[in-house]
Amino acid sequence: LDIYFAGLSGVTPRLPVDFATLERRAAAALPPAILKYVQGGCGDEHTQRRNVDAFREWGIVPRMMVDCTTRDLSVDLFGMRLPSPLFMAPVGVTALCAQDGHGDLQAARAAAATGVPLTVSTLTNDPLEDVAAVMGGTPGFFQLYTPKDRELAESLVRRAEAAGYKAIIVTLDTWVTGWRPRDLNDANFPQLRGHVLSNYTSDPRFRTMLGAEAAGHVPAVVKTWAGTFGKVLTWADMPWLRSLTRLPIILKGICHPDDARRAIDEGADGIYCSNHGGRQANGGIAAIDLLPGIVEAAGPVPVLFDSGIRSGTDVAKALALGATAVGVGRPYLYGLALDGTAGVVHVLRSLLAEADLLMAVDGFPDIATLRAAGAVRMTGRS
């Protein structure tokens, strides 16, 4: 209603409230190489498209005569009461999308303004401590790309814990970069342009690996970084990972129920069902179609979800299918590219407003009732 009333006085939103228009605007604003990196995915991008399209095959059955005058979108996660189920998924090199080159600081300010947690990637261009410092009271999560050098991994996790992050998200599907034709065709790999490295160059262990004289030398920094990036994790690494921190550990990229069960047996505190937005492998199955199996396998353990969320309706469907919290990647980057912190705030608020309205109209006063109702599979329709 705020938007409609403002419209009566001729004031329209600075940014579109729907993803398609937002993406078109961002595509026109971003340099082509950066757009390819953000928008692109693996292979012919079938998985990436399925991630989005598959949401249309799930539906929510409305309930009537329920008092939904007020809605409660809050959720519990690892003892924290979050005002909403939304969070920002980890995104590396957000610097590329931000006009001032400080994408994570801008996103962190949006987290502070909305209460929507930000997951800070290992590949943040701003030292993780600086990002944590501007999140206000909103919790942040740190995402670990586990380096081959164990001491560097330990240092990153310790720094995250000391800086006040509330969980460590360990990404499992990216010890190598996937087959991304849009980037490969142009040898377009922004990470190698020295954009991402302040989080590393501010790390004491990384500085030791680098050697003092190489600290200001970008090719040497990139070479050292590339040399240590990407340890293949196996279940045998779980005790070591567990020993690094007292914070909850969430494993990102879990898509098979057996892996979810094993992760929990091995001491994971949370499961993160995601196929990296279709950027890593082009196996073809939409992440949302894998979510119910993961939720069932995880039982009472929280399940985070991302990959393909483009609207508040998608958020509601993921919650109805059992996600504890729902992550968003590319949409918030487009908001960042178009209007910095205000753009991210706009995108997050739009997603939440749409989810909230769906719950109001369809008779779900809170997430628990939405989850209990579930979602219906509409086979054969689009």
Beta bridge partners of 303: 271
Q: Candidates 85, 270, 277, 312: give the one binding ligand FNR (CB under 6 A).
A: 277
Q: How far is the CB of 171 from ligand FNR (least distance, A)?
A: 4
Two tokens at 136? Answer: 């206000």
- CB burial string 352-370: b at 16+ within 10 A, e below: bebbbebbeebbbbbbebb
Q: How far is CA 239 from CA 103, 236, 243, in A?
A: 34, 7, 6
Smallest gap, in angstroms, from Cβ of residue 172 to ligand FNR? 9
Query: How many other CB atoms sit within 10 Å of the CB of residue 39?
Result: 17
Exactly one of 195, 217, 256, 276 is catalytic; name it: 276
Task: Convert residues 69-108 into a mask of x (bound to ligand FNR by CB under 6 A) and - (unbound).
Answer: --------------------xxxx----------------
Does 123 help bind ligand FNR (rule: CB under 6 A)?
yes
CB nearer to ligand FNR: pick between 190 and 363: 190
Asked if 146 interacts with ligand FNR (CB under 6 A), we say no
249 is a site residue for ligand FNR (CB under 6 A): no
In the range 307-346, which residues lie near ligand FNR by CB under 6 A? 307-309, 328-330
Output phi, psi for 329, to 5 deg: -110, -90
For ligand FNR, the closer CB: 286 or 297: 286
For residues 66 and 72, give the distance between their C-alpha atoms in angstroms, rounded to a whole number.
Answer: 14
d(CA 214, CA 276): 33
- Within 10 angstroms of residue 110's Cβ, the number of other Cβ atoms is 27
**Of 10-18, 205-213, 305-313, 343-351: span binding ligand FNR (CB under 6 A):** 305-313
* 203-211, 242-250, 274-282, 350-358 -> range binding ligand FNR (CB under 6 A): 274-282
Residue 251 identity (one-letter amino acid):
L
Q: Which is nearer to ligand FNR, 251 or 364 (CB)?
A: 251
Alpha carbon separation from 128 to 141, 159, 199, 229, 303 (Å, rounded): 10, 8, 6, 17, 24
- Verify whether residue 276 is a known catalytic residue: yes
> Catalytic positions, please?
276
The footprint of ligand FNR (CB under 6 A) covers 37-38, 51, 89-92, 121, 123, 143, 171, 252, 274, 276-277, 279, 306-309, 328-330
